[in-house]
Amino acid sequence: MFEAKLTESTTIKRVLDAIKDLIQQANFDCSADGLSLQAMDTPHVCLTTMTLRSQAFEVYRCDRPLSMGINLSSISKILKCAASKDSVKIVADDEGADCAEFIFENESADRIAHFELKLMDIDSEHLSIPEDSDYQAIISMPSAEYRRIFSDLSIIGDTITIEINKNTACFSVEGDIGNGSLNLAQTDSADEKNPVTINVKEPVKMTFPGKYLNTFTKAVPISEFVTLCLTDGNPLAIEFSLPDEAGFVRYFLAPKIDQ
Amino acid sequence: GVQQTRIDEFFKPH
């Protein structure tokens, strides 16, 4: 038996909004620790991972591990039927269930909606992400700043270079109409309301596709801050963490490399 | 020129 109840639908709605433009379908792996998934986009440029830890749920029961193959567009359609303050309960049989049940209940518990989502058999490749990567540079910034930088730059072109030196990050773009760049310095005071922190072991300069950096802005409502981790010649890791360590959405983006 | 790499060139299957 798998049973998981979120107090408010907002949490799962935001997480799905952050991944559904990149992934069409994925296996939601349920274990005693929580709900997680990982999937590549169709061109295999980006790997998206998501975890909702068991503590994110008001009720969480997973008697044995199960994998639910879900079409992201379908689950999003069903979750549109939940008001943001409605609770969401997901129920599935752990013995080869062919559907999962979604129950939405309003705050006064006098309106209860039931939906069934058909599950799919998805044959997906699980990739090994190196743990505790020793990144050359880590930058943390308010997620609203992330959105502004990459929505602005990706309008100019799709080749965005991130260069991080001591205390400064430079984001630049080259496009058909021209080019642009933006420098972001580490904020001086720890009391600053919207801090930018930059940790550099070694300066790094890498190029990434702007279209993806812009797509990741869909995760901005999840988290007040975002962390970007870079190592020369390796994928960029971007993390949006849910409050109270309830989980995260992480993107790993393959770089553009000068051949 | 600059070429886009693929994520599965970096992370291998289990």
Q: Where are the alpha helices (DSSP H) in A56-189?
A: 72-79, 143-156
Of the partner residues B3, B9, B14, the one whose CB lies closest to the CB of residue A256: B3
**Residue A106 DSSP code:** -
**Residues A31, A65: Cα–Cα separation, whole Å:** 5
What is the number of H-type helices and E-type strands within chain A?
A: 4, 19
pLDDT > 70: what percent of chain A?
99
Helices A10-19 and A72-79, packing angle to 10 deg: 150
Q: Tell me the pLDDT tens digit for each residue of A152-164.
A: 999 999 999 999 9
Q: Tell me the pLDDT tens digit for each residue of A150-194.
A: 999 999 999 999 999 988 999 999 999 999 999 999 987 766 778
Q: How far is A252 from chain B (nearest CA, A)?
A: 8
**Residues A26, A75: Cα–Cα separation, whole Å:** 11
Q: How far is A205 from chain B (nearest CA, A)?
A: 14
pLDDT at A190: 67
Interface contact flag, A126 B11, Cβ < 8 Å: no
Question: Which residues, 6+ apart, have CB-to-CB distance to A29 below 8 Å?
Answer: A35, A36, A37, A65, A66, A67
State the average pLDDT for chain A.
95
**CB pairs below 8 Å between A and B: how many?**
60
pLDDT at A17: 97
pLDDT at A140: 96
What's the average model confidence in pLDDT over A103-117? 97
Of the partner residues A126, A235, A258, the one whose CB lies closest to the CB of residue B7: A235
- Indicate the pairing of strand A46-53 with strand A256-258: unpaired
- A 10 A CB-CB count for A71 gives 18
Q: Tell me the pLDDT tens digit for each residue of A69-92.
A: 999 999 999 999 999 999 999 999
Of the partner residues A45, A126, A159, the one whose CB lies closest to the CB of residue B2: A159
pLDDT at A191: 65
pLDDT at A111: 98
Whether the complex's predicted ipTM surpasses the cut of 0.85: yes
